[in-house]
Amino acid sequence: MKRTIFSSTLAFLFLLCHSISFAALNQMTGNWKNTDPNTRGITTLVIDGNANNLSMHAWGKCHPQDCDWGEVDAYAYASNVSAPVNPTAQAVSAVFSTAFSQTLVIVKPAGNNMIRAEVFTRFTDRSNRSDYKETYTFRRQLRLMPMRPVPGPMPMPGPMLREDCLSFNPASTTVRNINGNWTIADGNHLLFSFGDKRVEALNALKVIKYYRMDSSCFVGRPDPSFRYLLVNGNAPQGSMPGEDCVSFNPNTIEVKNIGGRWKIVDGSHWIFDFGDKESEARTAFTIIRKYGFTRSCFVGRPNPSFNYLRK
């Protein structure tokens, strides 16, 4: 109910504030591709159905392949309260929700087999990130039917994966003591906390600068069960002298419940523990496979204050 009210209210305000030419729902249904190949936002939209049963499916920019946001209910808006929706639809809205954000997508026809999408993202995880708006233009993609049947079973779709990452600049990242707490920060942005462990903070900073890590990512905020760092959207690679790492094979890892706790294991080797959070364990499993991590590394064992993964 909250999602419906949220999407309907913003869409209504949007329509009030902008003049829109006559349209129809079939001008917005179909397969759509972002006209900007370098976009860092939504790359593909599929809007399907009619006014009584409408859906929107979205994909966002990820590396090495786009992230599937999943399919959600969508809502079409007629030209006035008495008008039939299908022939007079002016806009379509949908809301995509994750554990850390809510994204409202409002689509309008833009003519010549084009649509324009205004995207409003609101963070719900108290991360102090600013809510923001983006606008994209999409071009209709033709659905080509195969000339003959394709042999073999159709592949099953992969799991939905929306990553939660904060970017930073490794060149300007420093170690700071804030009220007795040693931290790694980029400007006013606090990245990692080490308590009274100054040496471990300095060693972790060396790791960040050595690999040029520029994104800190989470599974399960505000209390993440899994964290990893990336370099330009990829796994850190190489071998830093003196680092403390444990190797594993991303092709043989599994998610298992052992003694009531969900774990990622490689054979008899327990790699990560997620407690009762099965969904977070499976998300972390997908992330490990996606980036091909082969090493789990530590600063400060046996009670590490900093962890990272690399190839």
- pLDDT tens for 128-165 read 788 899 999 999 987 544 455 555 554 444 446 788 99
Claim to verify: residue 173 and residue 99 sit in the same structural domain: no
To which residue do tokens 């370099």 refer? Answer: 231
Q: Are 177 and 102 contained in the same domain?
A: no
> 89 in a domain, yes or no?
yes
Mean pLDDT of the region 190-196: 93
The model's pLDDT over 258-280, given as tens digits with 9 standing for 90+, comes to: 999 999 999 888 999 999 999 99
- The mean predicted confidence, pLDDT, of the chain is 86
Is 155 contained in some domain?
Answer: no
Q: In what order do the strands lie in the sheet with 306-310?
A: 244-247, 295-299, 306-310
182 part of a folded domain: yes
**In terms of pLDDT, which residue wins out, 222 or 58?**
58
The CA distance from 108 to 28, in Å, is 7
Residue 16's pLDDT band (cuts 50, 70, 90): very low
Same domain, 172 and 235: yes
DSSP state of 170: G
The reported pLDDT for the residue numbered 123 is: 84
Q: Are 277 and 197 in contact (CB under 8 A)?
A: no
What does the pLDDT read at residue 293?
96
The confidence band for 68, taking pLDDT boundaries of 50, 70 and 90, is confident
Task: Establish if 152 belongs to a structural domain.
Answer: no
pLDDT reported for residue 150: 52
Task: Please check whether residue 229 lies inside any domain of the structure.
Answer: yes
Residue 121 lies in a domain: yes
pLDDT for residue 13 is more than 50: no
* Together in a domain, 132 and 232: no
Residues 302, 102: Cα–Cα separation, whole Å: 38
- Scanning the structure block, which residue is given the tokens 């071998």? 239
Are the CB atoms for 106 and 87 separated by under 8 Å? no
- CATH number of the structural domain spanning residue 76: 2.40.128
Helix (H) or strand (E) holding 209: helix 198-211
Q: Classify residue 68: in a domain, yes or no.
A: yes
Range of the domain at 294: 164-310
Q: Are residues 280 and 293 in contact, defined by beta-carbon separation less than 8 angstroms?
A: no
Q: What is residue 260's predicted lDDT score, i.e. its pLDDT?
A: 93
Q: How much is the pLDDT for 127?
A: 75
Residue 253 pLDDT grade (very low, low, confident, very high; cuts 50, 70, 90): very high
Tally of domains in the chain:
2
Q: Are 261 and 298 in a shared domain?
A: yes
Residues 12 and 53 both lie in one domain = yes
pLDDT interval class at 21 (50, 70, 90): very low
Question: 278 phi and psi, to 5 degrees?
Answer: -60, -45
Do residue 130 and residue 259 come from a single domain? no
Same domain, 209 and 296: yes
The encoded tokens of residue 220 equal 């399960």
pLDDT surpasses 90 at 67: no
Q: Which of 15-24, 118-127, 130-139, 141-150: highest mean pLDDT?
A: 130-139
- Percent of the chain topping pLDDT 70: 86
Same domain, 178 and 127: no
DSSP code at position 175: E
pTM of the full predicted structure? 0.52
**What is the structure's pLDDT at 189?**
85
Residue 71, strand partner residues: 57
> Among 13-22, 95-104, 105-114, 159-168, which stretch is predicted with the lowest mean pLDDT?
13-22
Structure tokens at 179: 């009220």
Q: Do 60 and 198 lie in a common domain?
A: no
pLDDT of residue 69: 87
Give backbone dihedrals phi and psi of 13, rounded to 5 degrees, phi first.
-65, -40
Q: How far apart (Å, rounded) are the C-alpha atoms in residues 129 and 166?
A: 9
Same domain, 301 and 173: yes
Q: Kindly state the average pLDDT of the residues 78-89.
A: 91
Question: Which residue is listed with tokens 């022939």?
Answer: 87
Classify residue 148: in a domain, yes or no. no
C-alpha dihedral sign at 223, 233, 209, 244? positive
**Are 209 and 250 in the same domain?**
yes
